[in-house]
Amino acid sequence: MIEPRIPIDEEQRLEAVRSYDLLDTLPERDFDNLTLVTATVCDVPISLVTLVESDRNFLKSHYGIPFNESPRSTSFCGHAILDESCIFIVEDARKDPRFVDNPLVTEMNAIFYAGVRLVNSDGYPLGTLCVFDTKPRKLTSKQKKALIALAFQVVNLFEAKKRNRELMVIQNELKEKNEELKNFAGMVSHDMKMPLANMIITSDMLRSKYGQYLDDQGKQYLEYIKQSSFTLSEYITGMLEHYESDKTASLSEEIFDSQDLLEDIIELLNINYDCEINLPEENIEMKANRAALEQITLNLITNSLKYNDKETIVIDINCWKERGYYYFTVTDNGVGIEKEKLKSIFNLFETVGELDRYGKKGNGIGLSTVKKLVNKLGGDIEVTSEKGKGTTFKFYIKKMKKKTPKQLKEN
């Protein structure tokens, strides 16, 4: 018997093998399916996916034998990874000086062997896709081509699993960073709201107590401080809602009426100017995340009220269900949105540049939060508008399905 020699780039090759994190892992159906197909195509009793480690062969998939590793010193695969031909074949190991007294031959009756190297994108042979038989034999031309093709698929599977693992690591890191950012934004926002409230109260106190000593310009400066504090406070509130929208979207579903939802929102707005809000004629029983839907609809109606220059504000709301989804439209007769800005209106911090009916400019957070919530609820939102005539927002969310027994058990 001749032991397989060690490649000159063994250190780098072993590093490549270990980079796939497949050593000592449990069997996987994807690999077992490939060895089953390989054995069937080649008409052999044994088929293996091997990874050649420093002192052993780890069998990632083993069809036809009960163990998952063997010594490298006696392995056929140790020789196969050194052979740069398309396929390494030993038709009768009993007649081959490399294997004549090999324990695999003398004790396990491994007579025939054919293996294709599993070469990664950097050119390192990681192991083999190989087959064994207990009798001398040959492979047909079609079987050889099939074995080479299947080995290529094994390498593709290696690479796919490695990429998925790397992406999972990146995804987890991003989740952690995003959570840190959310916590930081929440903490800073909460800490800033109290000083801003103090600034608003202080400006009112200064005007009340010392207003008689201030000229018109001085009073105007106090008003600037107060209004700037209000603007920043609204900005912070919007940021908190945006970052907390994930929590809102994860709340459990409820059963409620669409009419009750919309009436509660209108009552909450406490509108004190000339406004006509037309609600849907049909009342729909809904099973959805009420808190999230309330925040979405409240934001859209509020925008229709704020960005409106008409003497009488008219808002038409429609709601219906269709094919497992709930649809809503909110249409107003407001200032409208320029056509070139419609595509970017849902981007965070994107504004249309218009001042609202109170002379304030938006912060570009509300509609981004709306889209985020709608997407989290399994839907989407779109907008159509005509400058000077009004805007229509149309969105849909997925109807909550009844939970399966498995989901109920998990809860």
Same-domain status, 161 and 265: no
Residue 3 lies in a domain: no
Out of 134, 168, 202, a domain closes at 168
Q: Are residues 383 and 284 in the same domain?
A: yes
Q: Is residue 230 part of a domain?
A: no
24 plus 155 within the same structural domain = yes
Burial environment of residue 25 by CB neighbours within 10 A (0 to 12, 13 to 18, 19 or more): middle
Q: Report d(CA 191, CA 183) in Å as an integer.
A: 12
Neighbours of 255 (CB within 10 A): 10
Assess whether 396 and 266 both reside in one domain.
yes
Give Cα separations from 57 to 54, 131, 156, 209 (angstroms). 8, 14, 20, 87
Q: Are the C-beta atoms of 193 and 236 separated by less than 8 Å?
A: yes
pLDDT along the chain (411 residues), means of 10: 91 95 94 97 96 95 94 94 94 94 92 96 95 96 96 96 90 79 67 74 85 85 78 65 63 85 87 88 89 89 89 94 92 90 83 71 78 91 92 91 47 42
Q: Is 3 in contact with 73 (CB distance < 8 Å)?
A: yes
Positive/negative CA dihedral, 122, 123, 126, 128 = positive
Together in a domain, 260 and 369: yes
Clarify whether residues 261 and 408 are in a common domain. Answer: yes
* Count of beta carbons in the 10 Å neighbourhood of residue 270: 6
Domain identity same for 161 and 287: no
CATH number of the CATH domain containing 121: 3.30.450.40
pLDDT of residue 29: 95
pLDDT for residue 227: 76
Domain boundary (168, 196, 217) is at 168
Residue 255 shares a structural domain with residue 357? yes
Q: Is 204 contained in some domain?
A: no
User: Residue 131 falls within a domain, yes or no?
Assistant: yes
Residues 26 and 115 in one domain: yes
Domain containing residue 334: CATH number: 3.30.565.10
369 found inside a domain: yes
Looking at the DSSP assignment, which residues form a beta bridge with residue 313? Answer: 275
45 part of a folded domain: yes
Domain count, the chain: 2
Nearest-5° Cα angle at 190, 188 to 192: 65
- Give the residue numbers spanning the domain of 390: 249-411
Q: Are residues 392 and 295 in the same domain?
A: yes
Q: Is residue 223 part of a domain?
A: no
Of the three residues 143, 168, 193, the one that is the final residue of a domain is 168
CA distances from 39 to 35, 48, 51, 138, 145 (A): 6, 9, 18, 14, 14
392 in any annotated domain: yes
Are residue 138 and residue 255 in the same domain, yes or no?
A: no
Q: Give yes or no: residues 134 and 262 share one domain.
A: no
